[in-house]
């Protein structure tokens, strides 16, 4: 073996060792435990209300009749059910607004630990609602689970981002999205009639929520706090070094500690932009508009049909006994599409996946409208409706399902990002609430034509992204700012840009 071959072999072995060190045992445990007790529960609660819909409505009617002496009218029942579904989003908005203050005081890990209290209390309320004869307990429980979801979807990505090495930060961040899909799938699986999707056992579907929360509650205390939090907020360098050693699986962490300290020194002189300042800034006007359009399209495009797939499949002519199994397939399709998106996003880019995803959703929503309208004309048409629903879900998860959160971080500088994420989160949860509340009424009023509303939203989004959204793949912040500058008709002043030469050139460049 020559010297060069030996060097090459040594280099490969070194890279292999480095890879193994990056994916340390404790790093994997932290990501799995964190996601299981957080984003998994968010996904689970998106789908868990679907299977027991008829039993819950019957429970509402019985409770109402017992209290008032007469059955509940259909409009009131529809309203109560809509509130039950959509109040999860209101809780999510509250959780999103709370997490910044809670995280500053408690840190990342302890925020996740405290958040388990919301999940466990919500599980107890919802699981005991039938026995107590109080449907209000179910509604309050859904709200509390929303708070849990709002906190989890902010604290978990932050924690995973800060404990992971740079080389695998993106891969580790995907754990959050994948566990959301897994949660949706498990919610559908447990909702099968053979398991917990029966009239006598549906409350246990909500009691199951306590299990992931308890697993996280007893496991997470053995894991270190975020080293970034320990250095930034607690100024505990010894604790941060110990945390780095645990998560990275190596003794020499001086380089990682120095990087965080350097970032800390840099940010001491940075003025964090408020939400109002960001909205008023002419230099990021179209970035803000694009984030609002992206998050609104993400929620209003019709994927909240998760809550109502049983009724949709029923209208498609599927026999009631087969509906739970077909619904289960949607969770599998979502998981596969999410994995596909993670594999190709750095090759194809954000803009083609967003535009193509919404464009395909427009097409399949249009076909779904036709098949639902003509479902009685041929025995094969209802099955085409099912294919359309699966295609809609696959189109969404292959692009629009994950990219909106990525764009929010790519559009803005560090001082602007906290305010940008508050705006994005607010639009996200309010849109979620709106479609969850209004969809039953839209479906009741428009019948089979209700999906044309979502087709119009998807088409509008696809057109907007095609003409307005620049490709951000492998582009620096300076290049992204330059792409928006002509549309904003304002170039950011030098003192507000990054310290790189490229940013200063952008600031001086004429239109």
Residue range 408-425: mean pLDDT, rounded: 72
Paired tokens of 89: 């989003």
pLDDT at position 341: 77
Distance CA 61, CA 94 (A): 30
CATH topology for 270-474 is Growth Hormone; Chain: A; (1.20.1250)
Nearest to 138 by CA among 127, 150, 152: 127
What fold, for 24-223? Growth Hormone; Chain: A; (1.20.1250)
Stretch 143-157: mean pLDDT, rounded? 87
- Residue 10: what pLDDT? 47
CA neighbor of 216 nearest in space, from 179, 172, 241: 179
Q: Which residues of 458-467 are buried (b: 16+ CB within 10 A; e: fewer)?
A: bbbbbebbee
Tell me the two tokens of residue 319.
């026999």
Unique residue bearing structure tokens 């307005």:
468
The Cα–Cα gap between 386 and 389 comes to: 5
**Length of the chain (residues):** 511
- What string of DSSP letters covers 299-356? HHTSGGGGGGHHHHHHHTT--GGGHHHHHHHHHHHHHHHHHHHHHHHHHH-HHHHHHH
pLDDT at 145: 94
- Encode pLDDT of 278-288 as tens digits: 888 888 888 89
C-alpha distance across the termini of the chain, in Å = 59
- pLDDT of 82 > 60? The answer is yes
* Cα–Cα distance, 357 to 405 (Å, whole number): 16
For residue 8, give both structure tokens. Answer: 């090459």
Q: Is the pLDDT score of 437 beyond 80? A: no
Alpha-carbon distance of 80 to 72, in angstroms, equals 10
pLDDT in tens, 467-509: 988 887 777 666 777 778 778 776 655 434 443 333 444 344 4
Tokens of 297: 């399209």
Whether 270-474 and 24-223 are alike in CATH topology: the answer is yes
C-alpha span between 119 and 213 (Å, rounded): 6
pTM of the model: 0.75
Beta-strand ranges (E) seen in 182-241 are none
Residue 308 DSSP class: G
What's the rounded Cα separation, in Å, for the pair 96 and 474? 29
CB-CB contact of 409 with 341 (8 Å): no
Please check whether residue 69 is in contact with residue 190, taking contact to mean a CB–CB distance below 8 angstroms. no
Q: What confidence score (pLDDT) does residue 225 get?
A: 86
Domain boundaries, the chain: 24-223, 270-474
Give the model confidence (pLDDT) of 294-317 as tens digits: 989 988 887 765 555 666 677 666
Q: What is the pLDDT of residues 241-273, one digit of tens each?
A: 787 787 777 777 777 777 767 665 655 555 667
């Amino acid at each position: 073996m020559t010297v060069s071959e030996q060097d090459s072999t040594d280099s490969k072995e070194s890279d292999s060792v480095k890879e193994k060190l990056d994916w340390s045992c404790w790093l994997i445990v932290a990501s799995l435990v964190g996601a299981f007790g957080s984003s998994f529960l968010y996904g689970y609660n998106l789908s868990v209300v679907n299977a027991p819909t008829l039993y819950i409505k019957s429970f509402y009617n019985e409770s109402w009749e017992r209290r008032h002496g007469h059955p509940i009218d259909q409009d009131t029942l529809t309203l109560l059910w809509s509130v039950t579904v959509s109040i999860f989003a209101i809780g999510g908005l509250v959780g999103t607004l709370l997490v910044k203050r809670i995280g500053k005081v408690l840190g990342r890990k302890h925020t996740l630990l405290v958040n388990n209290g919301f999940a466990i209390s919500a599980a107890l309320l919802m699981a005991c609602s039938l026995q107590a004869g109080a449907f209000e307990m179910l509604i309050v429980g859904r709200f509390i689970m929303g708070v849990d979801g709002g906190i989890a979807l902010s604290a978990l990505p932050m924690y995973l981002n800060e404990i992971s090495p740079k080389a695998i930060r993106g891969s580790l961040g995907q754990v959050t999205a994948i566990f959301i899909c897994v949660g949706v799938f498990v919610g559908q699986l447990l909702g099968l009639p053979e398991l917990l999707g029966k009239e006598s056992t549906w409350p246990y579907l909500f009691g199951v929520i306590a299990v992931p929360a308890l697993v996280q509650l007893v496991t997470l205390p053995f894991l270190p706090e975020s080293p970034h939090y320990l250095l930034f907020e607690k100024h505990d360098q010894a604790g941060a070094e110990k945390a780095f050693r645990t998560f990275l699986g190596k003794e020499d962490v001086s380089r990682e500690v120095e990087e965080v300290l350097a970032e800390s020194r840099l940010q001491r002189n940075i003025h964090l932009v408020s939400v109002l300042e960001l909205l008023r800034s002419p230099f990021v006007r179209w970035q803000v508009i694009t984030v609002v359009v992206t998050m609104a399209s993400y929620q209003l495009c019709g994927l909240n049909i998760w809550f109502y797939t049983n009724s949709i499949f029923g209208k498609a002519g599927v026999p009631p006994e087969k509906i739970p199994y077909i619904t289960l397939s949607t969770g599998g399709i979502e998981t596969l599409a999410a994995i596909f998106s993670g594999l190709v996003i750095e090759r194809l880019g954000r803009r083609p996946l967003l535009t193509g995803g919404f464009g395909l959703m427009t097409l399949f929503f249009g076909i779904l409208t036709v098949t639902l309208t003509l479902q009685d004309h041929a025995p094969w048409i209802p099955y085409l409706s099912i294919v359309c629903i699966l295609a809609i879900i696959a189109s969404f998860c292959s692009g629009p399902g994950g990219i909106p959160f990525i764009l929010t971080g790519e559009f803005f500088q560090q001082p602007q990002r906290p305010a940008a994420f508050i705006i994005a989160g607010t639009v996200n949860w309010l849109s979620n609430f709106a479609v969850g509340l209004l969809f039953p009424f839209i479906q009741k009023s428009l019948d089979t034509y209700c999906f044309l509303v979502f087709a119009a939203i998807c088409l509008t989004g696809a057109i907007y992204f095609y003409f307005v959204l620049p490709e951000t793949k492998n582009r620096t912040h300076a290049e992204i700012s330059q792409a928006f500058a002509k549309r904003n008709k304002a170039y950011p002043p030098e003192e507000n840009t990054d310290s790189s030469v490229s940013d200063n050139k952008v600031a001086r460049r004429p239109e």
